[in-house]
Amino acid sequence: MGSGEPVKSPIEKLNPLTKMLAIFCLGLATLIYPNSWLGLGIVIVLFGVAGIAHILTSFAKTIFGFGIPISLMLFFIQGLYSPKNKTIIADLGFAKLGEEGLLYAAKIVITLLVFLATFYIMNQTTYAGKMVAALTRSGINPQVGYLILASLNVVPQMHRRLDIIKEAQEARGVETTGGLWARLKAYVPLMGPVVMSSLTDAQERGMTLETRGFANTNVKRTSYIEVTTSKADTYLRAGLIIFLVAVIIISIWMRWAQ
Amino acid sequence: MDELAIEVKDLSFRYRQTTHAALSHVSFSVPKGSFFCIIGGNGVGKSTLCNTFVGLIPHYFLGKMDGEVRVNGQSILDQSIADLSSQIGLVFQNPFNQLSYTASTVAEELAYGLGNRGVAREEMVKKVAAVAKLMRIDQVLDQNPLDLSGGQAQRVAFGSTFILEPKILVLDECTTQLDPMGADDIFAIVKRLNHEGITVVMVDHDMERVAEYADQILVLAAGSPVLQGTPAEVFGDPRLAEFGVEPPAYATVTQALAQRHLIKAELGVTKEQAVALVKEGLNHAH
Q: Could you tell me if residue B94 is inside a domain? A: no
B231/B254 same-domain check? no
**Pairwise CA distance, residues B202 & A234, whole Å:** 53
A140 reaches B (C-beta below 8 A):
no
Q: How confident is the model at residue A236 (pLDDT cuts 50, 70, 90)?
A: very high
Looking at B131, B150, B165, which one is the last position of a domain?
B165
B4/B73 same-domain check? yes
Contacts of B159 in chain A (CB under 8 A): none
User: Residue B160: which residues within 8 A CB-CB, separation 6 or more?
Assistant: A212, B98, B100, B109, B110, B112, B113
Pair A106, A98: CB distance under 8 Å? no
B103/B210 same-domain check? no
Condensed to tens digits (0 to 9), the pLDDT of residues A7-37 reads: 889 999 999 999 999 999 999 999 999 999 9
Mean pLDDT score, A171-186: 74
Reply yes or no on whether the pLDDT at B18 is more than 60.
Answer: yes
Reply yes or no on whether the pLDDT at B204 is more than 60.
Answer: yes
A208–B146 C-beta distance less than 8 A: no
Chain B nearest C-alpha distance from A194 (Å): 14
pLDDT, residue B233, reads 92
Q: Could you tell me if residue B124 is inside a domain? A: yes
Condensed to tens digits (0 to 9), the pLDDT of residues B237-277 reads: 889 888 888 888 888 888 888 888 888 777 788 888 888 88
Q: How confident is the model at residue A129 (pLDDT cuts 50, 70, 90)?
A: confident
B195/B146 same-domain check? no
Mean pLDDT score, A43-58: 96
**pTM, 2 dp:** 0.80
Using a pLDDT cut of 70, give the percent of chain B over it. Answer: 99
Q: Which residue of B has its CA nearest to A222?
A: B115
B204 reaches A (C-beta below 8 A):
no
User: Residue A32: which residues within 8 A CB-CB, separation 6 or more?
Assistant: A247, A248, A251
pLDDT, residue A3, reads 56
Q: Tell me what the pLDDT averaged over chain B comes to.
A: 90
pLDDT, residue B100, reads 85
Q: Could you tell me if residue B284 is inside a domain? A: yes
CB contacts under 8 A, A 85-114 vs B, are none
Contacts of B86 in chain A (CB under 8 A): 213
Condensed to tens digits (0 to 9), the pLDDT of residues A243-256 reads: 999 999 999 999 99
Cα–Cα–Cα angle for B41, B44, B45, rounded to 5 degrees: 130
B108–A225 C-beta distance less than 8 A: yes
B30/B103 same-domain check? no
Mean pLDDT score, A40-47: 97
Q: Could you tell me if residue B31 is inside a domain? A: yes
Question: Which residue range is the domain that position B262 belongs to?
Answer: 248-286
Q: Tell me what the pLDDT averaged over chain A comes to.
A: 87
**Pairwise CA distance, residues A110 & A21, whole Å:** 19
Q: Could you tell me if residue B243 is inside a domain? A: no
Residue B162: how many CB atoms within 10 A of its CB? 22
Condensed to tens digits (0 to 9), the pLDDT of residues B223-237 reads: 999 999 999 999 988
DSSP string, A188-251: HHHHHHHHHHHHHHHHHHHHHHHHTTTT--SS----SS-----HHHHHHHHHHHHHHHHHHHHH
Pair A21, A237: CB distance under 8 Å? yes
Reply yes or no on whether the pLDDT at B1 is more than 70.
Answer: no
Q: Could you give the 3-state DSSP secondary structure of residue A158?
A: helix
Q: Could you tell me if residue B92 is inside a domain? A: no
Higher pLDDT, B223 or A139: B223
Using a pLDDT cut of 90, give the percent of chain A over it. Answer: 47
Size of interface A-B (CB pairs under 8 A): 120
Mean pLDDT score, A124-139: 87
B56 reaches A (C-beta below 8 A):
yes
B159/B182 same-domain check? no
- Judge if the upstream peptide bond of residue B58 is cis by omega within 30 degrees of 0: yes
B70/B17 same-domain check? yes
B120/B225 same-domain check? no
Q: Could you tell me if residue B242 is inside a domain? A: no
Mean pLDDT score, A99-107: 92
A199 reaches B (C-beta below 8 A):
no
Q: Which residue of B has its CA nearest to A132?
A: B102
Looking at B112, B137, B165, which one is the last position of a domain?
B165
pLDDT, residue A86, reads 86
Which sign does the torsion angle of CA A196, B50, B162, A206 carry? Answer: positive
B177 reaches A (C-beta below 8 A):
no
**Pairwise CA distance, residues A161 & B40, whole Å:** 30
Looking at B143, B165, B187, which one is the last position of a domain?
B165
Q: How confident is the model at residue B187 (pLDDT cuts 50, 70, 90)?
A: confident
Among A196, A207, A5, A157, CA closest to B153: A157
Lowest-confidence pick of A123-127, A149-153, A242-246: A149-153
Using a pLDDT cut of 90, give the percent of chain B over it. Answer: 59
B144/B264 same-domain check? no
Please give the tally of structural domains in chain B: 3
Q: Could you tell me if residue B132 is inside a domain? A: yes
Higher pLDDT, B133 or A93: B133
A221–B116 C-beta distance less than 8 A: yes
Condensed to tens digits (0 to 9), the pLDDT of residues B49-93 reads: 999 999 999 999 999 999 999 999 999 999 999 889 889 999 988
Higher pLDDT, A183 or A132: A132
Higher pLDDT, B279 or A117: A117
Inter-axis angle of helices A16-32 and A37-52, nearest 10? 160
pLDDT, residue A5, reads 72
B171/B276 same-domain check? no
Q: How confident is the model at residue A60 (pLDDT cuts 50, 70, 90)?
A: very high
B206/B77 same-domain check? yes
Lowest-confidence pick of A131-145, A162-176, A214-228, B131-145: A162-176
Q: How confident is the model at residue A4 (pLDDT cuts 50, 70, 90)?
A: low
Reply yes or no on whether the pLDDT at B123 is more than 80.
Answer: yes
Residue B47 sits in a domain of what CATH number?
3.40.50.300
B189/B279 same-domain check? no
